[in-house]
Amino acid sequence: MEIIIHGTGTMGKILKETAEQKENFVITGFADELTNEKGDVIIDFSHYSRIEPLLQFAENKKIHLVIATTGYSEEILEKIKETSKNIPILLSSNMSLGINLMQNILEKIVPVLYKSYDIEIIEAHHNKKLDSPSGTAKTLADTIENSCKEILKREYGRKGMHKREKNEIGIHSLRGGTITGEHSVLFCGNDEVIEIKHTALSKKIFAEGALKAAEFLKEKEAGLYSMEDIF
């Protein structure tokens, strides 16, 4: 299977090293800006500012696309959805199997807990991460909203003098050192706290997930897919 890696930063390099250790992948491109590369699937670990030209390239070349980059705007998300009508795209804020299982768990327990518990999300990453809160934290918040079928007020990094509202969900970001990635969802009730937490110990898990996504996408028809479609 021929893969093109879009993005030569830390994750792009880890993906390249991981793919090179496997017999069923051949890397036919490794660049920040794609020109004439050919392959079966593009895996994107670049920067949100590069997504729009990436979409144009993939659509013009009819190459399937895995997008693992976060921080994009609602406008870019709409362009991703529009492009997926012509080519298959898998979009995920987190390529980890564990995070996707965490979303599955939330879908089951949020309907039971949300009326009686306050919900808070805490995420921690290394000091070089640009976007805040993380794309995964936003996705977890989306999962919680969809599961309780209510629009929740998102309070980012709570501050000031005001009482917590009942339909509020706090989202807090920590940045420091070399933390690969931690995400916790806390359900805070009367005299008890339920916490669901995922800790990434290495960025290699994201590379492995991206390769699974590429394999999944290779035979798919045009459409917008997620990691949940795989697992």
Q: Six-digit token pair at 126?
A: 């290394």
Is 129 catalytic? The answer is: yes
| Set 6, 16, 64, 125: catalytic member | 125
- CA-CA-CA-CA torsion for 171, 169, 194, 174, nearest 10 degrees? 10
Is 6 catalytic? The answer is: no
Q: Six-digit token pair at 124?
A: 């921690």
| Set 129, 204, 212, 220: catalytic member | 129
| Phi, psi dihedral angles at 51 (to 5 degrees) | -70, -40
Task: Give residues with Cβ within 8 angstroms of 32, minimum separation 6.
Answer: 6, 7, 8, 46, 50
Going through 45-117 in order, the beta strands assigned E by DSSP cover 64-67, 88-91
Radius of gyration of the chain (CA): 18
Catalytic site positions: 125, 129
